[in-house]
Amino acid sequence: QQQVKQSPQSLIVQKGGISIINCAYENTAFDYFPWYQQFPGKGPALLIAIRPDVSEKKEGRFTISFNKSAKQFSLHIMDSQPGDSATYFCAAGSGAGKSTFGDGTTLTVKP
Amino acid sequence: EAGVAQSPRYKIIEKRQSVAFWCNPISGHATLYWYQQILGQGPKLLIQFQNNGVVDDSQLPKDRFSAERLKGVDSTLKIQPAKLEDSAVYLCASSQWTGPPYEQYFGPGTRLTVT
């Protein structure tokens, strides 16, 4: 049973455009929703995270939108740059720090 | 601050052989995680340690996988015997917190190829 579903699997955006990646979860016990960025040959790196008592969090060009009733959250990358080309993972955490990851979205930003 | 260290970075073995991976977490991080990341998928938690105790090993295939963190610092993950489907990147992560925010810091991973 996949507890965190991520879409799309891949995304191509022009430089300067907005990249949007969506995730949906099932378990209402999740209380922490991070996004990770992973470059080839590297481990995932925490990008931004949100708690369920907040509907939106913005850090620079990255924004998380959170809809608790729909059990959905999304990552928006404004003014996407070629350097943003990477794989992005959403995750949901709960309990003693256990996180469940989505299957990732490969983002390609074309110059 | 040094990051999470893992070794080796790459390993190629034949099926039925054994292999071990090593991880040294960020200094002071009490929680250590081992994940398996199959190509095209997200990381899947294998085992979570809090200091030298196991918090969650529900998804660890215990017939062939074992892990230890004897002194509550570095950790070793072992596979014996390996199967073809074990080919994956094995990621180690550490966290300072056991409650939210569950910020995890990942190492570069070990890419295992089983032939």
> For the segment A16-61, what is each residue's pLDDT rounded down to a tens digit?
999 999 999 998 888 899 999 999 989 999 999 999 899 999 999 9
CA distance B1 to chain A (A): 15
Q: Which of A43, A51, A104 sits opposite B42 (nearest CB)?
A: A104
Distance between CA B102 and CA B37 in Å, rounded? 19
Q: What is the pLDDT of residue B79?
A: 98
Mutant choice from A35, A87, A98 vs B, greatest count of B C-beta within 10 A: A98
Rounded to a whole number, what is the largest CA-CA distance in chain A? 42
Mean pLDDT, chain A, integer: 93
Scanning every residue of chain A, which has its alpha carbon at the shortest distance from the alpha carbon of B111? Answer: A41
Check if B106 contacts A (Cβ < 8 Å): yes
Most confident of A7-16, A28-37, A92-101, B43-52: A7-16
What secondary structure, in 3-state letters, does chain B show?
CCCCEEECCEEEECCCCCEEEEEECCCCCCEEEEEEECCCCCCEEEEEEECCEEEECCCCCCCCEEEECCCCCCEEEEECCCCHHHCEEEEEEEECCCCCCCCCEECCCEEEEEC
Tell me the pLDDT band of B69, cut-offs 50, 70 and 90: very high
Q: What is the pLDDT of residue B96?
A: 86
Q: What is the pLDDT of residue A62?
A: 97
Check if B103 contacts A (Cβ < 8 Å): yes
Interface contact flag, B48 A97, Cβ < 8 Å = yes
Q: What is the pLDDT of residue A50?
A: 92
Most confident of A5-9, A27-31, A90-94: A5-9
Check if B46 contacts A (Cβ < 8 Å): no
Tell me the pLDDT band of B98, cut-offs 50, 70 and 90: low
Q: What is the pLDDT of residue B52?
A: 84
pLDDT in tens, B10-46: 999 999 999 999 999 999 899 999 999 999 899 999 9
Interface contact flag, B107 A45, Cβ < 8 Å = no
Q: What is the pLDDT of residue A56?
A: 96
Query: Poorest-confidence range of A55-59, A64-68, B95-99, B101-105?
Result: B95-99
Please choose, from the candidates B40, B2, B85, the residue with its C-alpha nearest in 3D space to the C-alpha of residue A38.
B40
Q: In the predicted model, is pLDDT for residue B101 greater than 70? A: no
Interface contact flag, A43 B104, Cβ < 8 Å = no
CA distance A16 to chain B (A): 27
CA distance B93 to chain A (A): 9
Task: Please list every residue in chain B whose beta carbon sits closer than 8 Å to the beta carbon of residue A44.
Answer: 43, 91, 106
Check if B109 contacts A (Cβ < 8 Å): yes
Q: What is the pLDDT of residue A29?
A: 87
Q: Which of A89, A97, A104 sits opposite B102 (nearest CB)?
A: A97
